[in-house]
Structure 1
Amino acid sequence: MLTKKKILITGVAGFIGSNLLEKFIEQDNTIVGLDNFSTGKPENIEPFLKSDHFTFIEGDIRNLEDCKKAVEGVDIIFHQAALGSVPRSINDPITSNAVNVSGFLNLLSVAKDEGVKRFIYAASSSTYGDHPDLPKEEDKIGKPLSPYAVTKYVNELYADVFSKTYGIETIGLRYFNVFGKRQDPFGAYAAVIPKFVISLLNGESPTINGDGETSRDFTYIDNVVHANEQAAITENQEAVNQVYNVAYGERISLNTLFALIQEFLGEFDENIQKIQPNYGPERTGDVRHSLASIEKANKLMGYNPQFNVRKGLENASKWYHDNLNIKSHS
């Protein structure tokens, strides 16, 4: 268990960052959080602001001084701050690069100067690009299919060079389609699961890109929190200065995904069971199928995810139903 450490979480007001905050604050850690609220939400951290164990800094990883302030005296960094989304990077590659590459380098450089013990960062399954093999294994990658994928691969290259050159311990976690509580269902770049959920809660037909047989290894947030904790506490020297897939190790199609979400939300409103999806064009830059091998993470750092997609969706659907004011953003 990760306990009694001083840790920095960047992107702390975001979906994954706020879930890490919630977990680690309960375990008697002292936490510094950094966020500029470009995609994160104040309400995600609001319950924790009164805690003596949490200090929030509103700042930007593109600003070196903000990074220096945040990193001071920290043992471990969980770097989640980034501009996600393949479509966003296609529309605005320059900003995606500024945040995801320059911001990453700022934080990594400051971490090295401050003597931070371990730097754990959000990598991405998009790094696999056009490599055809399934399941995805960490050492076999193809050419990136989007500016976003380029930025996340560059993160891995910088982390590798910094670990070899300066001795800082780095661990990259290639997230596969994470979902769960506090994931934003609104805005142009919302992920597929919360988009489906909000459409169904509104009594509307969601749009499935393509024929719906595109498949993904959807990963419940609690699995991701577990992976970050294992990365922080592992004492296996073979486990550091590596990248790992973080997933459940099963893939399901978008059509099956829709049916599962419909089943769980239908328990709250039977009219949801009658809604049929619309089908639209495929999304530019998307891969057809994705499935992770989680063997390396299991073997080297004891990653053992407990939530398959069905169990995760059951939890997530209840959270969305209980927490989303459906009409407030319509």
Structure 2
Amino acid sequence: MKVVVTGGAGFVGSNLVRHLEHVPEVTETIVLDDMSFGFRENLDGVRTTIVEGSILDETLLEEVMTGAGAVVHLAARSSVPRSIAHPLAAHEANATGTVRVLEAARRAGDVHVVVASSSSVYGANDVLPKHEGLSTRPVSPYAASKLASEAYTLAWGHSYDVPVLALRFFNIFGPLQPPLHAYAAVIPSFLAAAFQHQPLPVHGDGTQS
């Protein structure tokens, strides 16, 4: 089976592509990434085809989706602060980009679609522990764009019988995750500070937010 991974040169995507290399049922992987947040070196030594381009490019999506059995859609403009600074860009990449991927999969036919959403969709809902049955209350453009991507994913599944699955990621961490950029997640930021014997970067007074 051919698997397309959008955002496959990023932290999560590159780890997934490395894993798929050892899955017997997967015969080919295609990475589609515009390299705005991904890095080619993340895929050094991996048997995959890298296509540099945007998920907003309909023609390119049609090309990479031809013959695919599945697409894992990870490409996105992540980070809540970044979305507050650039809300339209977050919507275009995360919501419109997801629609482009879903439509390309529908047109290709018989393509399973896995979409990466985010726990940020729970937003102001402070009920713990989190589960899929909780109401969503997004409070940032990023969270709203991810909730929209979920809604479109389920709509394409219902309206066009596209096999779909949306996953709400929480604080993912692991190999190849950049710890030092301005929008680094909390776990790699803490680890980087600890390794350098620096105080952990805490915003506010440290109480639950």
CA offsets, 1:52-111, max 9 Å, x none? xx2110111121122112211100111111011111101111111111011111111010
The equivalent residue for 1:9 is 5
- Determine the structure 1 residue equivalent to 2:115: 121
Aligned-partner Cα distance in 1 for 2:54–2:155: 24
Residue 173 (1) aligns with residue 171 (2): no
Structure 2 residue identity aligned to 1:21: V
Name the SS of the counterpart of 2:68 in structure 1: coil
Match of 1:35 in 2: 33
Question: Following TM superposition, by how much is the alpha carbon of 1:203 offset from its aligned partner in structure 2, in angstroms?
Answer: 3.4
SS at match of 2:135: coil
Q: Secondary structure at the match of 1:101?
A: helix
Preserved CA contact (<8 Å) 2:171 2:187: no
Q: CA deviation at 1:116?
A: 3.4
Shift of 1:34: 0.7
Mapped to 2, the partners of 1:45 and 1:213 lie a distance apart of: 39
Pick one of 147, 150, 153 that aligns with 1:159.
Answer: 153
| Alignment map for 1:59-138 (pairs within 5 Å) | 59-138=53-132
Q: Are residue 46 (structure 1) and residue 48 (structure 2) matched?
A: no
Alpha-carbon distance in structure 2 between the residues aligned to 1:187 and 1:132: 28
Superposed CA offset, 1:201-236 (max 9, x none): 33332311233343xxxxxxxxxxxxxxxxxxxxxx
3-state secondary structure, aligned to 1:208: coil
| 8 Å contact from structure 1 (residues 12, 40) kept in 2 | yes
Q: Under a length normalisation based on structure 2, what TM-score does the superposition of the two structures give? A: 0.94
> For this pair of structures, how many residues does the alignment match?
207
What letter matches 1:202 in structure 2? Q
Q: Which amino acid aligns with 1:47?
A: G
Identity among equivalent positions (%) equals: 36
Q: Structure 1 residues 143-152 or 114-123, which shifts more? A: 114-123
Q: CA RMSD in A?
A: 1.3
Write the deviation string for residues 227-269 of structure 1: whole angstroms up to 9, x where unpaired. Answer: xxxxxxxxxxxxxxxxxxxxxxxxxxxxxxxxxxxxxxxxxxx
1:259-317 Cα shifts (integer Å, max 9, x gaps): xxxxxxxxxxxxxxxxxxxxxxxxxxxxx2xxxxxxxxxxxxxxxxxxxxxxxxxxxxx
Equivalent residue of 1:207, what SS? coil
Q: Which amino acid aligns with 1:176?
A: F
Contact 1:118 1:170 in 2 (8 A): yes
* CA distance in structure 2 between the aligned counterparts of 1:69 and 1:85, rounded to whole angstroms: 29
Q: Which residue of 2 aligns with 1:200?
A: 194
Tell me which structure has the larger Cα radius of gyration. 1
Partner of 2:21: 25
Q: After the TM superposition, which of the residue ranges 196-205 and 81-90 deviates more from structure 2?
A: 196-205
Tell me the SS of whatever aligns to 1:142: coil
Given the alignment, which residue of 176, 180, 186 partners 1:186? Answer: 180
Contact 1:129 1:141 in 2 (8 A): no
- How many angstroms apart in 2 are the aligned matches of 1:114 and 1:27? 23
Gaps of 5+ in 2: none
Give SS of 1:99's match: helix
SS at match of 2:30: strand
TM-score normalised by L of structure 1: 0.61
Partner of 2:159, secondary structure, is helix
